């Protein structure tokens, strides 16, 4: 069994990684974190001589954050980056690995998010319209809530 988790640098996304990992581990599932590269991952000026180096460093920083959240030495997760439309990439990943579900953070708010959503469509809407895999949306701050079944005798 696999659980695909969409990741970006926002707090809601980090909450999704932590919640999705806890759920996957409770279900004895593999964790597949996918970071879809967007404009926020790219340096401002593509003509800079270090453009590719800066992009790679930025993407590696995302991987380090995920490793800290999931445990660097844990062997139950993989991390990958991809380019494309987020919902399509996550749906394709879920289909390719036979995922039980896709976990994402609650949509971002604010002017930047509104512009992004108007250009590419909301990720969660795209996931529910495209895929045949359940989608779980995790809000920022869920950590204050107990995870169902956690701490209970099996």
pTM equals 0.79
1 confidence band (pLDDT: 50, 70, 90): confident
Tokens 């495209």 belong to 130
CA gap 42, 21 in Å, rounded: 27
Is the pLDDT at 150 greater than 90, yes or no? Answer: no
Q: What angle do CA 65, 122, 81 make, to 5 degrees?
A: 35
Q: What digits encode the pLDDT tens for the residues 77-126? A: 999 999 888 899 999 999 999 999 999 988 755 555 544 444 444 777 78
Nearest CA to 143 among 15, 24, 3?
Answer: 15
Spatial separation of the C-alpha atoms in residues 83 and 151, rounded to whole Å: 38
The domain 2-144 is placed in CATH, from the list 3.30.70.20, 3.30.465.10, 3.40.50.620, 3.30.70.2190, at: 3.40.50.620
Give residue limits of the domains in the chain.
2-144
């Amino acid at each position: 069994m696999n659980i695909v988790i969409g990741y970006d640098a926002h707090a809601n996304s980090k909450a999704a990684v932590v919640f999705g990992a806890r759920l996957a581990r409770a279900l004895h599932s593999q964790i597949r974190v996918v970071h879809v590269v967007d404009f926020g991952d790219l340096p401002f000026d593509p003509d800079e001589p270090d453009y590719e180096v800066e992009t790679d460093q930025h993407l590696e920083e995302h991987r380090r954050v995920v490793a800290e959240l999931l445990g660097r030495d844990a062997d139950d997760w993989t991390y990958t980056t991809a380019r494309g439309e987020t919902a399509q990439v996550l749906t394709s990943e879920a289909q390719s690995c036979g995922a039980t579900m896709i976990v994402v953070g609650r949509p971002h708010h604010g002017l930047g998010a509104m512009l992004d959503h108007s250009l590419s469509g909301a990720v969660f809407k795209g996931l529910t319209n495209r895929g045949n895999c359940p989608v779980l949306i995790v809000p920022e701050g869920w950590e204050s809530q107990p995870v169902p079944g956690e701490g209970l005798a099996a």
